[in-house]
Every structure is written in C-alpha cells, then in structure tokens.
Amino acid sequence: MSGKGQGPLAGVRVLDLTSVLMGPYATQIFADLGADVIKVESPQGDTTRFIPPGPDASRGAMFLNVNRGKRSIVLDLKQPEARFALLRMAQGADVFIHSMRSSAIGRLGLDYAALQSANPKIIYANLYGFARSGPYRDYPAYDDIVQAASGIVDLQARLSGGQPTYAATVIADKVAGLTGAYSVIAALYARERSGVGQEIEVPMFETLVSFAMVEHLCGSLFVPPEGPPEYPRATSEARRPYRTADGYIGVMIYNDKHWRAFFEALGDPEWSQDPMFASMRSRTQNIGAVLAKVAEVIETRSTGEWVELFRKAHIPATPIKSLTDLLDDPHLVETGFWQERKTPAGILRFPGIPTTFSETPGAIGDPGPALGGESLDVLREAGFSTEEIADLQAIGAVRTAA
C-alpha cells in the first residue's frame, strides 16, 4: 500500500473515477481518513466543479468540499494510451472506484476483469444507479430519480398534504456514498486476512430501498403480510415540529419513561389517563390523535419555556435551527467541528470529520484540486519516464492544469 495521508486509512491508494456527489462523497471519507485519493477526471472535469459559488469557474463550493484532500489527474480515457496509463497506475493502487453505468465502464475496457488482470489484489467498486442483474441496469440515475423510485417521495407526500416532494437533501447520493465507503473498507479488511481482492457493487436504488425499509417494511415483513409497508408514526401528518406560543420546537416524547415524565411535568392532567397513552403499542395505534393532543398542549407556552421543561424532565427537545444557525452553534464551536483553512482562494470553512479515533485521527485535506493539478506527479509516481509523459501529453491522452 502507498499514500501520504494521516488517519486509519493512511497507506491506502484509491483510483477515483467518480463524479458529481455519490462517489466523491465516498472518496472524501477515504481522503479524510488518510487514503491517497487520485481523482481521475475527463478533460471536461467533474460536473460539480462548475456549480457556483466558487473562487473560479472550475472550483465551486460543493466541489471544493466533497473533493478535499484529493489529487487530480486528467486522462482522456477514450484514447487507448490513456487507458493503458490508468491500468499501469492500478498496479500500485489498492482501490478502483467508479460511478459510471456498467455498460459505459465496459465500453472503456475498464471492467473488473481488466483491473484484476493489472492488479489481482485490487478492490474494485461499482457505484451506480441500479444493480446490473436487473432490467433497470442501464437507466440513468440521479438523486431525484432514485428518491422517486425508492418510495421516499411517496413517503414525503404523507407529510405534505399528498403533494409528492423530494427530501431537502441529496439523500440517495449520500446514503449510497456512505454504503460504498463502508463496503470498500470491509473489503480491504477481508483482503488483509485473505490476500484476495474482489469486486463490489453499490446500486443507489437498492441501497435507498433498503434504507427506507429499515422501519417501513413493518407489517410486510411477514408472509403473508400482517399490514402495509409503512411505519405509522413516521408518516403521520401530525408528526411535525410543534408550534409554540412564539415559534416552533422539535420534541420526541417516545418511550414510556418520557411519557411519564411529560405528564408529571404538566401536573398529570386528566387527559393523560386516556388509555391511548398507556403503552408504545396503544400510542402507535393512535398516533395521529396522540400527536394532535401534544400539539394542542405545546401551543400554550413559549419555546424557551418548553425547552427548559423538557430538559429538566430529560425528554429530547430542541429549538428549530437553520443551517445558518449551525455555523455558530455553541456545541459545534466547542467541539471544533468547523475547521477554517487559509487557501489561495481565501479562508474556507469545512465541516469536520464527524468520527474520532484515539490512535489514528484523520485530517481535513486541501480543498478540491485544480483540474489536472497533479497529473505529472501521479504519473511519475507510477513509474512513467519524462519521455513517456511527454508522449501522452502530445496526443492529449493526459493533460495538466492550465
């Protein structure tokens, strides 16, 4: 293994042929944890480079964040010479990861068989929309498409008066990216024990269906079904932040202990004796009425009063915070979550690594690289001579930063 980073993945080298968000998010995690991530881009560059705002036209904020700590090489993989260069680079790599459809990566001659021939121990990860064994294999897939196909949009409609809506975050991309990250790390661990590389498939569609069905499979877990695939508490229209006398608050009165503490804090009102509040089962069966009653009560006091009451009663509760609020959140400030870096583009603020390691802490790398900024370094490390690099440049198979 080779690489220059700091963290539990130091020494791991990753060839990253992913773009947009799903794959780059997975490889951002690798880079944060110390892997040497070589971002292999087309001459046009990753699409997210051009999403503003940014310090220049080819490095937008999203790109700078999700590609931090990586190095960029530009290869025109439509040219055979570039493909051969990549296969030569793979000889010294531990992981090859891409986010193309299976048909597209096959046309480039970069399927698992090709990479395995170059390096039998390589971990080869496919991150794409739909599993290649099914009829959707060649359908294009973006986050909105997978949200719609996976049931997430339909679930969101339950909370918006029947109007289908997307989740206000790219949940399919990020869940699949996280899944890809842990899958590759698991395969690296297996290789340490067996010495054998392998191929991994992480399809967005199947990953998000699995994610949604953790709680929502519900009664359809049983064959024949004992109920529809839906967890009623999560889809109740009454499940929403509660309006207070002066704003809104998020509250989770969940288990029996919480409910006893809630009633005690209110002085055990008469309505608390209603049998529907008696147990988890009865509350779940009457979830709409239960949440509606709580909403009615919450409106009687201010947000500050409720936060104080709930915290004294050890009931989970918080004021509603905006993304702007989080930039100065006292907990995030105290834990050092936000990390500022001086760069040629000015001072940039990054969200920190959310996990900690007592012995091998990771580190936030430099912001997303210039397109082709490290092309020459990467080729030299792979053993290419000055003459070989010049030949690749002459035919446009490899390009460097402008």
Cβ pair 67, 24 in contact under 8 A: yes
**Distance of alpha carbon 21 from alpha carbon 101, whole angstroms:** 15
pTM of the entire structure?
A: 0.93
Query: What burial class does residue 15 get, using C-beta atoms within 10 Å of its C-beta: 0-12 exposed, 13-18 middle, 19+ buried?
Result: buried
**Distance of alpha carbon 282 from alpha carbon 296, whole angstroms:** 19
Q: What is the DSSP string of 153-191?
A: HHHHHHTTTT-----SS-HHHHHHHHHHHHHHHHHHHHH
DSSP run (H or E) holding 282: helix 280-285
The residue ranges of the chain whose pLDDT is under 70 are 1-4
Cβ neighbors of 367 (< 8 A, separation 6 or more) are: 59, 64, 65, 67, 68, 341, 343, 345, 348, 350
Nearest to 68 by CA among 340, 400, 377: 340
Q: Give residue 1's pLDDT.
A: 35
Q: Give residue 270's pLDDT.
A: 95
Q: Give residue 236's pLDDT.
A: 86
**Distance of alpha carbon 69 from alpha carbon 343, whole angstroms:** 13
pLDDT (tens digit, 9 = 90+) per residue, 266-306?
999 999 999 999 999 999 999 999 999 999 999 999 999 99
DSSP letter assigned to residue 77: T
Q: Give residue 159's pLDDT.
A: 86
pLDDT (tens digit, 9 = 90+) per residue, 76-117?
999 999 999 999 999 999 999 999 999 999 999 999 999 999
Find where tokens 């790390």 sit.
Answer: 185
**Distance of alpha carbon 259 from alpha carbon 282, whole angstroms:** 13
Q: Give residue 4's pLDDT.
A: 59
Q: What are phi and psi of 203, to 5 degrees?
A: -85, 135
Percent of the chain with pLDDT over 70: 99
3 state DSSP class of 207: helix
**Distance of alpha carbon 195 from alpha carbon 250, whole angstroms:** 49
Find where tokens 């990253």 sit.
Answer: 16
DSSP letter assigned to residue 59: B
Structure tokens at 340: 């500022």
- What are all long-range contacts of 228-233, with beta carbons under 8 Å and residues at least 24 apart? 232/284, 232/285, 232/287, 233/284, 233/287
Cβ pair 241, 248 in contact under 8 A: yes
